[in-house]
Amino acid sequence: MPKNSATPGLSQWLLIAALIIVADQLTKVLVIGAFQLGDVRPVTGFFNLVRAHNYGAAFSFLHTASGWQRWFFIGLGSLAAVFIIWMLRRHGQQQMFAWALTLILGGALGNVIDRAVHGYVVDFIQVHAGGWYFPAFNIADSAITIGAILLILDELRRVRRT
């Protein structure tokens, strides 16, 4: 399939992923500098800034494991990044698919950096309502979630075309 000059190539997708990583890491540095672990600062009636450390994965899965999970998630995130880059190289012209992969790549590597540097992931966004609190998350988690939603939408769109 010929490549359209307006279609982003691998380097553009990697640049977008790098921007996600920079935004993620910058916000985490700001939180680490301004908050002690466990601090909560209300912003609105449904949104707080907090400082939380997640030693596990999504929703603190394996949070209380003995430490091996740090290296497991670093390895898993690194392998996922290699696979995603390979997929972007092959399918970078598929806009929604490539956006999904790029968001997941940036988010995964943002959290891998945290695990490598700190041994945990820094979370700081807390949404709540009526006494219910969603687990704290960060920019990387948001990028991964949006990327996963785009993957699902892309697949639904692909199925409808067939």
Q: CA 78, CA 58: separation in Å to the nearest integer?
A: 17
Residue segments in the chain with a per-residue pLDDT below the cut of 70: 1-7, 57-67, 162
* Radius of gyration of the chain, Cα coordinates, nearest whole angstrom: 17
Q: What is the pLDDT of residue 60?
A: 61
The domain limits of the chain are: 10-161
Q: Is the pTM of this model over 0.75?
A: yes
d(CA 21, CA 5): 26
pLDDT single digits (tens) 93-139: 999 999 999 999 999 999 999 999 999 999 999 999 999 999 999 99
Beta strand residue intervals within 55-156, DSSP E: 121-129, 132-133
Strands laid side by side in the 47-54 sheet? 40-42, 47-54, 121-129, 132-133
Can you give the pLDDT at residue 68?
73
- How far, in Å, CA of 19 to CA of 38, rounded? 28
Residue 41: closest CA among 52, 33, 49: 49
Name the DSSP letter for residue 36: -
Partners of residue 127 on adjacent β-strands: 47
User: What is the pLDDT, as a whole number, of residue 162?
Assistant: 67
Using a 10 angstrom Cβ sphere, with 0-12 exposed, 13-18 middle and 19 or more buried, the burial of residue 33 is: exposed
Active-site amino acid positions: 123, 141
